[in-house]
């Protein structure tokens, strides 16, 4: 089945799937039709057990937005908060359907204040402003996208006394400074807006009103004012075009960007691609006063997950789960349409195998999540709803999201999955090239990641470069640790299920904008759907290996080596070092014991029956081997749960994994050994 699957995905089918998913706006909670269509498609493909699972989280939607300079009179300005039509992109003409620039979960408010520029809005940026004597109380803070999750920018501004936040896209980060902008190139044009959620993701994801429990219709809910992971001040995203008058209004007021730091200047100050003579990135406060109006309508509203189940023939009570979210801020060709198309083509290809008589050894679930963009809500509520069952039966979760947004393969995973990722990517051909996904991955791997690989992957076999004489030994490409930002979060960090996510990256210039369209995808990223097809091969290949292998292809030695690297990467105080040295040694010892059991079991299963054995002895031996294999598979499949602390991480108890969590002050990036790292920080 594994080899046959690789020839089944078809480019024209993937294009058909993507065409449907990008044909209209599909915000979370407002497009049940798309959920029903996804369900019907899976049933047409031969998957008979496909259901829509409904939850009732709190979401909010924009009703009125305004950003304006209201004084002094020479600087008066009203932002349009819309993205211009691109003539050649048909979906950009659907202006009535395209939502205005807004942040999911932003607070409502009508505030006016002087402007302060805070660079990327990181904790160190606000610390620098304090050191420069900048008073942020009652100001509106202007920050640019990048470096940390947008919600944490709002949190920092709120904690420093600001009354509102404006987040804009600077050409230095994903626009003209990177290359030609859309529609002439793949990068963000100056009129483009990055929407997104401002939930404090590193506190907890999912429905803000029901942390830790599923958001059923009759669930007990927190009052909005008691929620800890939502902002209390309003925020709005801006295009660079709309941010320019604000940046000009700051020029000459307060410390300069150069006084603040070497990375505080954006493209407006020094790049020919985005330079503006009136922009100096002064930090303020400005003389100008800015009015920010953000009226949001919040409500408890249904969302719809689509869940397909293919029952296993030998181990139906062990599950491999594959997921992708379906909702988008606008049209979502890359995010998440590419992943949705790949998930659907995986379902179609598995349907062909089913009709040919194949059944998976273990049960496979294919899940299309809703409301990921607001805060991983569909997947989180499903995990919270089925937590006990998942911890009894689920052996792995495979996630795809914006799986095609460039040409460079990247992977994030529990370390036990690393060897499987290497194996499958070697087996999947990459159309338009003469090699495999793995070949492209190795050739593209940045040299700066080689040291990371050594600590994270540890004992993985080196690659021999036969073109060099004498042969040069190279480390395999990096598989990064998982942080957050997509639907693997609840599976790994709340339930303790081995998880992974992968994608082809390179062009983030239309991320969360109206220009993340099929036209953009086919013009600049994947005109022949080679990368979509390769992504389907990787997704289905990994799922089939996990579902069909008699011994689960999870490697605990790789996990042990990764743990050593994480421990070595943290600089500890003396008293913390004494503790971690002991616990680290115990952990390595435990993993070594499991690895020894692995070797013993593998040897036992490979023994042939001896001819001089009696039949009943052979049957008895076989039964013992099968029991042993089942026990070993459970040790492998449930190993990740050994790192789950029921009480959770002290600073944020929803997150329960002691090895992996999102960075407390970054949101997306992984923070290995979070309790130890936070105690040091």
The structure tokens listed for 673 are 């050994």
Q: Which of 634, 651, 678, 679 is catalytic?
A: 634
For the chain, the residue count is: 681
> The tokens 């890359």 sit on which residue?
334
Q: Which of 372, 401, 516, 640 is catalytic?
A: 372
Q: Distance between alpha carbon 538 and the CA centroid of its chain, in Å?
A: 17
657 is catalytic: yes
617 is catalytic: no
What is the rounded CA–CA span in Å between residue 275 and residue 284?
20
| Nearest C-alpha neighbor of 188 from the set 280, 84, 286, 107 | 84
Q: How far is CA 467 from CA 399, 442, 464, 473, 474, in A?
A: 35, 14, 9, 11, 12
Q: Which of 297, 583, 599, 600 is catalytic?
A: 583
Q: Where are the alpha helices (DSSP H) in 239-316?
A: 240-250, 257-260, 267-270
634 is catalytic: yes
Q: 282, 254 in Cβ contact below 8 A?
A: yes
CB-based contacts of 657: which residues, under 8 Å, 6+ apart?
492, 493, 494, 496, 640, 643, 644, 645, 674
Q: 321, 394 in Cβ contact below 8 A?
A: yes
Q: Where are the alpha helices (DSSP H) in 483-639?
A: 488-493, 518-520, 530-548, 556-569, 574-606, 615-637
Q: 366, 347 in Cβ contact below 8 A?
A: yes
What is the rounded CA–CA span in Å between residue 627 and residue 632?
9
What is the rounded CA–CA span in Å between residue 159 and residue 101?
24
Angle at the Cα of 238 (from 123 to 30), degrees rounded to 5? Answer: 105
Q: 413, 482 in Cβ contact below 8 A?
A: yes
Q: How far is CA 166 from CA 84, 121, 668, in A?
A: 20, 10, 20
156 is catalytic: no
What is the rounded CA–CA span in Å between residue 152 and residue 391?
31
List the catalytic residues. Answer: 372, 583, 634, 657
């Amino acid at each position: 089945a594994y080899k046959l699957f690789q020839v089944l995905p078809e480019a024209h089918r993937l294009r058909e799937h993507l065409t449907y998913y990008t044909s209209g706006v599909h915000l979370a909670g407002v497009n049940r039709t798309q959920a029903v269509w996804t369900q019907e498609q899976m049933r047409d493909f031969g998957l008979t057990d496909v259901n829509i699972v409904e939850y009732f989280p709190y979401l909010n939607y924009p009703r009125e937005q305004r950003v304006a300079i209201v004084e002094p009179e020479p600087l008066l300005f009203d932002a349009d908060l819309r993205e211009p039509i691109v003539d050649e992109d048909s979906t950009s003409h659907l202006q009535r359907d395209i939502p205005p620039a807004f942040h999911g979960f932003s607070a409502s408010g009508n505030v006016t204040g002087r402007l302060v520029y805070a660079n990327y809005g990181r904790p160190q940026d606000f610390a620098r402003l304090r050191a420069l004597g900048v008073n942020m109380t009652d100001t509106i803070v202007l920050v640019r996208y990048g470096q940390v999750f947008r919600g944490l920018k709002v949190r920092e501004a709120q904690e420093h006394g600001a009354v509102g936040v404006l987040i804009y896209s600077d050409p230095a980060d994903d626009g003209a400074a990177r290359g030609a902008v859309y529609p002439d190139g793949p990068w963000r044009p100056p009129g483009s807006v990055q929407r997104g959620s401002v939930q404090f993701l590193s506190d907890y994801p999912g429905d803000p009103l029901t942390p830790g429990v599923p958001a059923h219709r009759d669930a007990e809910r927190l009052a909005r004012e008691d929620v800890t992971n939502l902002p209390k001040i309003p925020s709005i995203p801006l295009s660079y075009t709309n941010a320019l008058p604000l940046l000009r209004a700051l020029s000459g007021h307060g410390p300069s960007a150069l006084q603040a730091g070497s990375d505080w200047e954006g493209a407006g100050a020094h790049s020919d691609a985005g330079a503006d003579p009136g922009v100096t990135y002064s930090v303020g406060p400005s003389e100008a006063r800015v009015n920010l109006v953000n009226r949001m309508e919040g409500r408890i509203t249904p969302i719809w997950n689509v869940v397909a189940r293919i029952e296993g023939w030998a181990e139906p009570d062990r599950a491999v789960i594959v997921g992708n979210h379906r909702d988008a801020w606008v049209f979502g060709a890359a995010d998440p349409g590419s992943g949705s198309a790949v998930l659907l083509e995986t379902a179609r290809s598995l349907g062909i195998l089913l009709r040919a008589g194949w059944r998976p050894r273990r049960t496979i679930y294919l899940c299309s999540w809703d409301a990921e963009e607001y805060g991983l809500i569909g997947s989180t509520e499903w995990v919270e709803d089925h937590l006990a069952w998942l911890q009894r039966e689920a052996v792995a979760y495979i996630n795809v999201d914006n799986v095609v947004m460039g040409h460079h393969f990247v992977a994030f995973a529990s370390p036990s999955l690393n060897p499987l990722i290497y194996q499958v990517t070697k087996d999947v051909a990459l159309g338009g090239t003469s090699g495999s996904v793995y070949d492209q991955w190795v050739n593209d791997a940045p040299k700066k990641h080689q040291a990371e690989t050594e600590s994270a992957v540890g004992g993985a076999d080196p690659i021999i470069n036969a073109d060099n004489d004498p042969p040069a030994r190279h480390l395999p490409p990096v598989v990064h640790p998982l942080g957050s930002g997509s639907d693997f979060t609840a599976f790994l960090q709340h339930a303790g299920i081995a998880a992974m996510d992968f994608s082809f990256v390179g062009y983030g210039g239309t991320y969360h904008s109206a220009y993340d369209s099929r036209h953009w995808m086919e013009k600049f990223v994947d005109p022949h759907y080679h990368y979509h097809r390769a992504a389907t091969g990787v997704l289905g290949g990994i799922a089939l290996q996990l579902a069909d292998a008699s011994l689960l292809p999870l490697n605990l030695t790789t996990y042990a080596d990764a743990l050593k690297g994480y421990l070595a990467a943290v600089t500890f105080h003396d008293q913390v070092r004494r503790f971690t040295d002991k616990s680290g040694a115990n952990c390595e010892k435990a993993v070594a014991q499991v690895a020894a059991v692995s070797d013993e079991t593998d040897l036992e299963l490979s023994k042939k029956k001896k001819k001089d054995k009696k039949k009943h002895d052979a049957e008895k031996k076989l039964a013992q081997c099968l029991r042993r294999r089942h026990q070993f598979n459970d040790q492998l499949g449930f190993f990740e749960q050994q790192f789950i602390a029921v009480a959770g991480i002290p600073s944020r108890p929803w997150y329960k994994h002691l090895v992996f969590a999102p960075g407390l002050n970054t949101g997306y990036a992984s923070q290995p050994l979070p309790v130890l790292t936070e105690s040091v920080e």
